[in-house]
Amino acid sequence: MFFRRPPGTNLVVTSHDTMQWPDVPAFVFEENDARDACIQEFDGTYHWYYCQWRSVEAAGRSCVMLRRSADLVRWDDPVVVHVDTSRDVTHSHLESPFVVRAAGAYWLFVRNRALDERCVTTVFRSGSPDRFASGGGAWDAELEGVHAPELVNVDGAWYIARVSGPPDHLSCAPRRGGWIDVASITFADGDS
């Protein structure tokens, strides 16, 4: 299990029993603002996507970063796979990245906290798990009211889960009494 301790220390604990976890985690890496791990395996390589502030072309930007590993133990250096160029920032307003391979393409789902009045998760399509378009209008879809999405494939059908409930005044995350919504989702063919 990979998780973050603020402000950007990423840790791991391992166990053979999902109900019992060690008290002391192992250190993986630390970078200010690095958070929201999504780890997927594509073609025998693990891909760890996370959000982080980064200087890109001399401007502070919200980014989705990527580290790769063959064994979930040794991770390579980070690379930027998506940049929000809409504004200069000192702290990433992107969060909860999730990447899947479906319909002949790779799909990045990422929430943009800068659009909290709308609570939007943006979807980007790519032919590679290592690079997703950046800049205005580069997205393939916007999902209103979707916070912290995760996707799962069950017997060939895709489903998306989101955190839901009455939102607080600062974000679309629920105050109390929240729940998880699950809905089916379809993908356009990667060539269309």
Measure the CA–CA gap between 83 and 128, rounded to whole angstroms. 16
Q: Work out whether the CA dihedral 16, 38, 107, 172 comes out positive or negative.
A: positive
The yes-or-no verdict on residue 191 having pLDDT over 50 is: no
The domain made up of 42-185 is a member of CATH 2.115.10.20: yes
3-state helix, strand, coil in the chain (%, to 5): 0, 55, 45
* pLDDT for the residue 177: 62
Banded model confidence at residue 137, pLDDT cuts 50, 70, 90? low
The yes-or-no verdict on residue 167 having pLDDT over 70 is: no
* pLDDT for the residue 166: 55
Helices (H) and strands (E) in the chain, counts: 0, 14
Question: pTM for the complete prediction?
Answer: 0.89
Q: Which of 26-30, 89-93, 112-116 has the lowest mean pLDDT?
A: 112-116
Location of structure tokens 């799962």: 152
- Cβ within 8 Å of residue 183, ≥6 positions away: 159, 160
- For residues 98 and 113, which has the higher predicted lDDT (pLDDT)? 98
Q: What is the mean pLDDT of the chain?
A: 88
